[in-house]
Amino acid sequence: MKEKIISTKIEVLSYDELSAQDKDLIDKAKEATATAYTPYSKFHVGAALLLSNGEIVTGSNQENAAFPSGTCAERTTIYYAHARYPEASFDTLAIAAFSNGHFQASPISPCGACRQAILEYETLFNKNIRILLYGENEIYLLDGIKSLLPLCFSEF
């Protein structure tokens, strides 16, 4: 029997260790949590995406009485970004979550469907998307979505 071990590199950083640009993205992801529409979960997620043209697009989760019809912050953001700026590749995506009156102490990570959706744009532009996951205590930096989606299904 052979065995394969797949590992993921995560840089663990404090806010002060981030570049000015990454700080700005985290700030905007945090701000975007205020626009979440979450009457059901009360879990407010915000995302901010830096594009290759320098634009920053933000978004938040939008829920629906028919639960599967709701959309996570990540997909709200990346779908709008590509609809608005179809020529621009994705550089860095920051994600933050707020609930019960405070930002999450530990980073939250995109759900499986969002990971697959993010992968689509890595594949489209043939460029890794940096991902910043915000927590009050620590911030994770990933150098691409494949860090969160090993053995991913990509082009067919």
Radius of gyration in angstroms for the set of CA atoms belonging to the chain, rounded to a whole number: 15
Q: 3-class SS at 56?
A: strand
Residue closer to ligand THU by CB (options 19, 100) is 100
User: Which residues in this chain contact ligand THU in the complex, by CB under 6 A?
Assistant: 38, 41, 43, 45, 61, 63, 70, 72-74, 108, 110-111, 114
Contact indicator for 57, 80 with CB cutoff of 8 Å: yes
Instruction: Report the catalytic residues.
Output: 74
CB of 74 to ligand THU, least distance (A): 6
Residue closer to ligand THU by CB (options 8, 53) is 8
Residue closer to ligand THU by CB (options 51, 76) is 76
CB of 121 to ligand THU, least distance (A): 16
CB of 111 to ligand THU, least distance (A): 5
Residue closer to ligand THU by CB (options 88, 96) is 96
How many residues are recorded in the chain? 156
